[in-house]
Amino acid sequence: MSALFQPYTLRDVTIPNRVWMPPMCQYSAAPEGPLTGAPTDWHFAHYAARAAGGTGLVIVEATAVSPEGRISPYDLGIWNDTQVETFRRITRFLAEQGSVPAIQLAHAGRKASTDRPWKGGAPVGPEAHGWQPLGPSALPFDERHPVPTELTKAQISEIVAQFADAARRALAAGFEIAEIHGAHGYLIGNFLSPHSNRRDDEYGGTHDNRTRFALEVVDAVREVWPDDKPLFFRISATDWLEHDGWTADDTVRFARELHAHGIDLLDVSTGGNASGVRIPVGPGYQVPFAARVKGETPMPVAAVGLITEPEQAEKILANGEADAVLVGRELLRNPSWARQAARALGGEVRVPEQYHRSV
């Protein structure tokens, strides 16, 4: 039987197959008003289509733990109970289709308060619903971005509590898995990397100090997230810098620490924390980083990065390079990719009754 269509169990949650949808921002929430940060009809249709298409795990896009934790004013949030209510429609439908609903909890850090990508993605100010970004150090992402406000230790503790509160709300909204966003140059990743963290207190300098904030977030979320439900962590395995960046060696070391703190799976991506770097993009270009973590630590991993063909995904799993694959761009192009991959590989996937005539 196809490895791609074997179920996968973490704690007490069984995911029906290894075709997973990674978090991909839609920038389609209201920027102001009583429904700020709440999912809309667009979000429902977007996620529902992938569940109906047979995707085993659907991870809802980066969802901010506070208003200033959004990447853009149009991002999703889960900092109030109104947002919880609007998420329930999505989680209920995903579960009805046999998909496991998951959510990524996030804080954008120094890359916050930007416009939507199709509007250029430039930083925006108060006149366009923007705000002042925050970071571990007063270092901007690039020449376009403003200098972030360096967080005090009291503010760091407040953000840790915001992650825990967001996890409680995610549970109330019906999510079965939570993922902590520590990748792509957002706040947790800012703390991890010496490229963006120049603090001289207990949150900067050494590896143990730079990982302190991340582990405090993990511990706070794990404390409120039920023992029978999995908790993921997304990481950028490398900054793609020759010097003074987060490296693959750091990732392997940190993966062991995350595992000891109750993380059940590492979602392995790369990059996003340094501007102007050269990344050797190509089919499966990030898979070796996931494979190394899987080979050198007890941590289960999911691989991502231009995984577009069923045979390619099957080979990654059959070779033991990852426990699951995250299919991003291809699922945007083709919501029924999982069902078509099952046909190609001889696997089985749930098909809605309404679509049986098309199988």
- Catalogue the active-site residues: 186
Three-state DSSP class for residue 258: helix
Please give the Cα distance from 30 to 20 (Å, whole number): 27
H/E run at residue 52: helix 41-52
Please give the Cα distance from 300 to 20 (Å, whole number): 14
104: Cβ contacts below 8 Å, ≥ 6 apart: 23, 59, 60, 61, 62, 63, 178, 179, 180, 181, 234
Three-state DSSP class for residue 21: strand
Three-state DSSP class for residue 66: coil
Q: Of 46, 92, 56, give the one whose Cα is nearest residue 339.
A: 56
Q: Which residue has the tokens 């995250």?
A: 326
DSSP per position, 179-226: EEEE-TTSHHHHHH-TTT----STTSSSHHHHTHHHHHHHHHHHHHS-
Tokens standing for residue 146: 């403003």
H/E run at residue 65: none
Q: Of 6, 16, 54, 61, give the one whose Cα is nearest residue 328.
A: 61
DSSP per position, 78-126: -SSHHHHHHHHHHHHHHHHTTPEEEEEEE--GGG-SB--GGGT--B--G
Q: Are the C-beta atoms of residues 231 and 214 closer than 8 Å to each other?
A: no
